[in-house]
Copies of this chain bind each other. A is one copy, B any other.
């Protein structure tokens, strides 16, 4: 993938020019008439922001039209985009932002009549937060850290949702409406590598996340109720997908013990 495309939009850092960034076709008017679904990435952490933007760019049918790092910038960006006649279709919204909470931004947007759909991207596992997100009109809730495949799955579903609603102007019946809603739901068939199962992965990931200090494969296995071999398989998968790191533990006699540590838990 040739790294970050040279034309990648940089968004609007607090007051610079583009309401409509360069990558959007300048003449295009009206939502959805551009080449694909326009996406705004709102993410505090620059590294994550770049990663998310890249993921979006890679997704056919999507284009990242901006990347901002705060609520204020996000609001400003969306305002300008709407004024320019090219409203943003989808916003990838981190919930913890330096100048406010993402859901609050969401509510502000709604009050201002913005119709951007929102995918919440956060490490908040609080279920009450999930409920609030739902009531604020979030269409998807993605827990950090997530794999590229997971985001891909969400985006693809969203694209199909848009498709199903974009074509015709009138619903033929309840079924059609239900179908559209169902597309936003996620059975996450993000295919795991062969030999791995979702429930086990979940268990192991939880065990690891909850272990403040790192865990050896054997310890993780014991805690998760699986064998050391199985635990290692999943831990290794977590490392490969960037959700965990492993580092050798020296000091004792014998081969060094590998210590796996959860990586995603950024601040808060």
Q: What residues of chain A have their CB less than 8 Å away from a CB belonging to chain B?
A: 106-108, 110-111, 113-118, 125-128, 130-132, 134-143, 146, 150, 165-166, 168-175, 177-182, 184-188, 197-200, 202, 205-206, 225-227, 230, 246-248, 250-251, 256
Say yes or no: A131-B110 contact (C-beta < 8 A), given A174-B142, A185-B182: no
**Chain B residue at smallest Cβ distance from A169:** B127
- How long is the Cα–Cα vector from A108 to B200 in the complex, in angstroms? 43
- How long is the Cα–Cα vector from A138 to B137 in the complex, in angstroms? 7
- How long is the Cα–Cα vector from A117 to B130 in the complex, in angstroms? 12
Smallest distance from the beta carbon of A108 to chain B beta carbons, Å? 7
* Residue of A138, A168, A175, A206 with most chain B CB atoms under a 10 A cut-off: A175
* Residue of A136, A171, A197 with most chain B CB atoms under a 10 A cut-off: A171
* Residue of A138, A169, A170, A226 with most chain B CB atoms under a 10 A cut-off: A170
Smallest distance from the beta carbon of A231 to chain B beta carbons, Å? 10
Residues of chain B contacted by A205 (CB below 8 angstroms): 173
Q: Does the CB pair A172–B206 fall under 8 Å?
A: yes
Say yes or no: A165-B250 contact (C-beta < 8 A), given A134-B117, A172-B202: no
Residues of chain B contacted by A177 (CB below 8 angstroms): 130, 141, 143
Say yes or no: A178-B173 contact (C-beta < 8 A), given A131-B115, A135-B110: no
- How long is the Cα–Cα vector from A25 to B246 in the complex, in angstroms? 49
User: Which of B106, B170, B173 meets A202, CB within 8 Å?
Assistant: B173
Residues of chain B contacted by A200 (CB below 8 angstroms): 248, 256
Q: Does the CB pair B137–A110 fall under 8 Å?
A: yes
Q: Does the CB pair A181–B186 fall under 8 Å?
A: yes
User: Which of B111, B178, B181, B246 meets A108, CB within 8 Å?
Assistant: B111
